[in-house]
Amino acid sequence: MNAARIAIVGLGNLMRTDDAVGMLALERLKVGLQVPRGVQLIEGGTLGLDLIYALHGITHVVAIDAVDAGVEPGTILRYSGEGIAEMPVSKSVHLLGFSDLIGAMRLTGDAPEHIVVLGVQAHTIAWGTELTRPVERALPRLIDAALHQVSEWAREIAEDKSIETAMQWELTAEASAG
């Protein structure tokens, strides 16, 4: 098993109002001290398949993006596991690109094992450089959700390492005794 590597990817277009939310969340994470050490922050923008190299070797990824699920603007949505594969393409401006990216990585055997998409329902994705009020108000909760997911994975990875170390110690002790 490869060493676990966690990343947060911000998706979106900084010139399209609420579509910028993933990139703006990433900017705030970069200046804050709350991101656990070793977590990579990746500016995904609108790169789609071009992210294949940036995600090479990543085992856990949180993608942050604006979504269009037809719910109240500012609503935070979480998709993971099979839920990502079953999402209609219309749920995100970038989902087709992100889905294609993950599909291509699966074909090469390099897809992250754990993927969570955190989205916030956009109010508008018209041309503009500022988030709408409902999305701006949701941004801190979106960042908290990403940090919570990363912290949960970090805890699970640490527990797995502790179990693996204990098993190795037991095997070494048994081999020494025998």
DSSP assignment string, 45-112: ET-GGGGGTTTTT-SEEEEEEEE--SS-TT-EEEEETHHHHTS-GGGBSSHHHHHHHHHHHHHTT---
Identify whether 131 is part of a domain.
yes
What's the domain range around 100? 6-177
Give this prediction's pTM.
Answer: 0.84
Identify whether 140 is part of a domain.
yes
Identify whether 69 is part of a domain.
yes
CATH number at residue 165: 3.40.50.1450
Identify whether 169 is part of a domain.
yes
Identify whether 26 is part of a domain.
yes
Count of the separate structural domains present in the chain: 1
Torsion sign across C-alpha atoms 99, 101, 104, 110: negative
Identify whether 156 is part of a domain.
yes
The amino acid at 92: S
* C-alpha distances in Å from residue 102, one per residue of 35, 49, 63, 106, 155: 24, 9, 11, 6, 25
CA distance 70 to 152: 29
Identify whether 120 is part of a domain.
yes
Identify whether 1 is part of a domain.
no
At 54-111, the pLDDT tens digits run 999 999 999 999 988 899 999 999 988 777 765 545 445 554 567 778 888 889 899 9
